[in-house]
Amino acid sequence: MTEEIREQPKKRMLSGIKPSGDLTLGSYLGAIRNWGARSEEFDCFYFMADLHAITVRQNPADLRRRTLEQLAQYIACGLDPEKNTLFIQSQVPQHAELGWVLNCYAMFGELSRMTQFKDKSAKNADNINGGLFTYPSLMAADILLYQPDYVPVGEDQKQHVELCHTIARRFNGIYGDVFKLPEPYVPKVGARIMSLTNPTAKMSKSENEDTGRVLLMDTPETIMRQFKRAITDSDTENCVHYDKEKKPGVSNLMTIYSACTGKSYAEIEQEFAGCGYGKFKPAVGETVVETLRPIREEAQRIMKDKAYLESVYKEGARRASFVAEKTMRKVYKKVGFIGR
């Protein structure tokens, strides 16, 4: 008698990005480009973290626009809605519900030690609100709602994920095995893209200096202008050579060119031997233009199809809510709430 062979369910992964700025070339080459392949291996949940965005004052119309644009850009970058659950955080009310419950299991001292709270408080001294303080509790809820096996962890979020584990262990210690503790997932290393005007700092979607970044939706003319302004290095050699310490500007441009073309640094050095920065910078710009062109055009097409975009985020919210509600029912029962 042969046993029936059953296909093992995929491990679950979850990640969210705030729609508080526009996605950059750095976001794409460093992370998003690799996300599409994950759906073959994992059950992926990706969300627009708009609840987190309002800890800093937002223009309502801009926030709505950026949320939908980010969703369209995700799809244009290769995240198939049929293979990934794509949703908007505020459309799944269980995030806020579990966030409040976990507030009651997060200690004041733990929240006050969060580095991001200190940094954002310094930058927004006139708006140090409660949401900024309890941000990690909501982030823990984002994760624990879906009982994921893995959570991609960036350097700036390690502390929050560690607190998530602390809160989950505390809750499980009181009520039993309620939350799965996800393992940190170290993603395939993408290109670390730095600012074009400050090559010692990461290219940021919230960067104030527009000249330092390239956005996914920038026009070819804007992209070329950004690269022509890019900082190279104040050396007398004027040669294309990779040296991150001594030549950070040129090395950053080489990283971008390598990520877009697949060429090694040695091949790039050979290609531009004797050319100088004057020819190299426009060449990098043209390569980026062609890399981003299909993404921009597809995202623009999707944004015009309002019915399709609405169907994606509604279906995503439905699928996410189905999973989240299972967790919420268990949590509410454990803490003593009347079942709904």
Phi, psi at 79, each rounded to 5°: -85, 100
User: How many domains does the chain fold into?
Assistant: 2
Residue 41 has pLDDT above 50, yes or no: yes
Pair 137, 91 in one domain? yes
Residue 198 in domain: no
Do residues 246 and 240 touch, judged by C-beta distance below 8 A?
no
Longest dimension (CA), the chain: 78
Q: Tokens 């971008």 appear where?
A: 256
Residue 126 has pLDDT above 90, yes or no: no
pLDDT score, position 289: 97
C-alpha 97/C-alpha 69 separation (Å) is 27
- In this structure, the dihedral spanned by the alpha carbons of residues 180, 186, 190 and 196, taken in order and rounded to 10 degrees, is 90
- The confidence band for 156, taking pLDDT boundaries of 50, 70 and 90, is low
Catalytically annotated residue among 18, 205, 247, 281: 205
What value does the mean pLDDT take over residues 128-150? 91
- The per-type count for the chain, helices as H runs and strands as E runs, is 14, 5
What value does the mean pLDDT take over residues 311-328? 97
Pair 158, 83 in one domain? yes
Residue 6 in domain: no
pLDDT score, position 4: 47
Q: Is 120 a catalytic residue?
A: yes
Pair 109, 178 in one domain? yes
Pair 148, 15 in one domain? yes
pLDDT score, position 205: 66
Residue 201 in domain: no
pLDDT score, position 114: 80
Residue 199 in domain: no
Residue 238 in domain: yes
pLDDT score, position 1: 41
3-state percent helix, strand, coil for the chain, nearest multiple of 5: 55, 10, 35
Residue 314 has pLDDT above 90, yes or no: yes
What value does the mean pLDDT take over residues 227-256? 85
What value does the mean pLDDT take over residues 189-194? 78
Residue 73 in domain: yes
Pair 37, 69 in one domain? yes
Pair 15, 134 in one domain? yes
Least confident of 239-248, 265-274, 314-323: 239-248
pLDDT score, position 60: 94
Question: If DSSP codes are grouped into helix, strand and coil, which group holds residue 311?
Answer: helix
Residue 237 in domain: yes
pLDDT score, position 259: 92
Catalytically annotated residue among 18, 120, 247, 281: 120
What value does the mean pLDDT take over residues 167-195? 87
Residue 19 has pLDDT above 90, yes or no: no
Q: Domain of 31: which CATH number?
A: 3.40.50.620
- The confidence band for 303, taking pLDDT boundaries of 50, 70 and 90, is very high
- In this structure, the dihedral spanned by the alpha carbons of residues 312, 260, 188 and 86, taken in order and rounded to 10 degrees, is -10
Question: If DSSP codes are grouped into helix, strand and coil, which group holds residue 161?
Answer: helix
Q: At a CB cut-off of 8 Å and minimum separation 6, what does 250 contact?
A: 232, 233, 240, 241, 242, 243, 277, 280
Pair 41, 165 in one domain? yes
What value does the mean pLDDT take over residues 80-100? 97
- The confidence band for 69, taking pLDDT boundaries of 50, 70 and 90, is very high
Residue 106 in domain: yes
Residue 149 has pLDDT above 90, yes or no: yes
pLDDT score, position 2: 45
pLDDT score, position 235: 65
Range of the domain at 17: 11-191+306-335
Q: At a CB cut-off of 8 Å and minimum separation 6, what does 65 contact?
A: none
CA 71 to chain centre: 12
Length of the chain: 340
Pair 118, 59 in one domain? yes
Pair 87, 182 in one domain? yes
pLDDT score, position 131: 82
Pair 274, 319 in one domain? no
Q: Domain of 246: which CATH number?
A: 1.10.240.10
What value does the mean pLDDT take over residues 218-237? 86
Q: Is 246 a catalytic residue?
A: no
Do residues 134 and 99 touch, judged by C-beta distance below 8 A?
yes
Averaged pLDDT of the chain: 88
Sign of CA dihedral 208, 142, 107, 149: negative
C-alpha 183/C-alpha 128 separation (Å) is 32
Q: What is the pTM of this model?
A: 0.85
Q: Is 205 a catalytic residue?
A: yes
Catalytically annotated residue among 202, 263, 326, 330: 202
Residue 25 has pLDDT above 80, yes or no: yes
Pair 27, 158 in one domain? yes
Residue 116 has pLDDT above 80, yes or no: no
pLDDT score, position 31: 81
pLDDT score, position 128: 81
Pair 124, 231 in one domain? no
